[in-house]
Amino acid sequence: MKIGFYSSMHLDDKRNWSGTMYKMYEQISKLGHEIEWIPKLTLSSSEEKRYKNLENWYQKIFKRGYNQHINFYKARVIANKVDLYLKKQNFDVIFAPTAVNDFALVTTKTPIIYLNDANVGQLLNYYPYYSGFGWLSKKETMLIEKKMLQRATVNIFSSEWAADYAINHYGIQREKVKVLKFGANLNVPKNWQFNKHLDNEITFLFLAVDWIRKRGNLAYQTVKILKEKGYNVKMQIIGCNPHLEEEWVNIIPFLNKNNPDELLEIQNHLLNSHFLFVPTQADCTPIVFCEAAAYGLPVISTNTGGVSAHVENGKTGVLLPENASAKDYADAIEPLLMSRNEIEKMSVASREKYDKELNWEMWGKTMSNLLLNIKPS
């Protein structure tokens, strides 16, 4: 089967979507299919100018923000270019991850597999960069997304949270919606066994770039409460620098996954920490939660977005409501510190969840079955 893979960056580039695009390309390649990169199509300078005039007109009238990524002007212009491009090709299937705006209005008869970690409709006023749009822009966004989901032969989401929204909010047929959970975008220990010391210092790892949205201060305040109660705990921060000076906080402002030595350092912290503590404010599919599971690391986070697809509260981690305070988190964590064999149970369950669900090999097997059931045009 010849598959056209639509992407803004080359398929070999491991930076694209935190490495997720590369991992999907890698798995589809292993299935033996011929894959050809379709570079993301863009507006010309004159088309971009017309769009800016439209955006300025909208903001002047409505005094509100306009979704510059998803709108009918760009959708129509790009769809025409996509159709023209595809007429010169001979693909059996198009794989278009996240390309909601670019394929919503295409007329090609080639089957399209659409993939995303959320519906954009779910992200309106949920993510900061999808907030502040006027009512007309929001309606436009959701109409385009609905057309994309209707147009696709199969719609793949990485969580039940996103899949259920497509079915219940947009009325997409259940048989057209599938859940394929993502895996870890780094090296995974093959024969993992729990061998951590639980009678010494317990390390809470905060691994994230965005201290604000991932609510690093909430994690910090929680660990501080536990420290003040006399527990031997430590916070390891990687990916940002909140300039904390406590002796029980260690900060590594940045580590590059594309640097082998720095990647190894990240992996060592995953291997040696006891919890991944990222009480995120908003998230769809945090890949770092899949990576934590691969290293048998229980996750402490928020029951928001698609998080519960990757963390089972009370089994592979702790999930609290979005309005939970540092005291609430400390109260939930304290029983684990008092009965530390529960930490080992959670660690083992986390790795088992990775082996059964949160790995790219499983993603590839499920994708293989989906491709077998698609009839080329």
The answer as to whether 253 is a domain residue is: yes
Q: What is the pTM of this model?
A: 0.96
Q: Is the dihedral of CA 282, 285, 287, 289 positive or negative?
A: positive
Query: Which runs of consecutive H residues, i.e. helices, occur in 110-177?
Result: 120-123, 135-151, 160-170
Ramachandran area for residue 246 (φ above 0: left; ψ -120 to 50: alpha; else beta): beta
Does residue 246 form part of some domain? yes
Whether residue 320 sits in one domain with residue 304: yes
Q: Are residues 135 and 29 in the same domain?
A: yes
- For residue 131, the enclosing domain spans 2-183+359-372
Q: Is 191 contained in some domain?
A: no
- CA distances in angstroms from 270 to 188, 347, 357, listed in the order given: 10, 12, 19
**Do 104 and 88 fall within a single domain?**
yes
377 domain residue, yes or no: no
Residue 179 shares a structural domain with residue 272: no
**Same domain as 283, residue 135:** no
Instruction: Give me the tens of pLDDT residue by residue for the chain, a chain 377 residues long.
Output: 999 999 999 999 988 999 999 999 999 999 999 999 999 999 999 999 999 999 999 999 999 999 999 999 999 999 999 999 999 999 999 999 999 999 999 999 999 999 999 999 999 999 999 999 999 999 999 999 999 999 999 999 999 999 999 999 999 999 999 999 999 999 999 999 999 999 999 999 999 999 999 999 999 999 999 999 999 999 999 999 999 999 999 999 999 988 999 999 999 999 999 999 999 999 999 999 999 999 999 999 999 999 999 999 999 999 999 999 999 999 999 999 999 999 999 999 999 999 999 999 999 999 999 999 998 87
Residues 149 and 237 in one domain: no
Q: Which residue shows structure tokens 């129509």?
A: 76
The CATH number linked to 123 is 3.40.50.2000
Domain identity same for 274 and 173: no
Q: Three-state SS for 347? A: helix
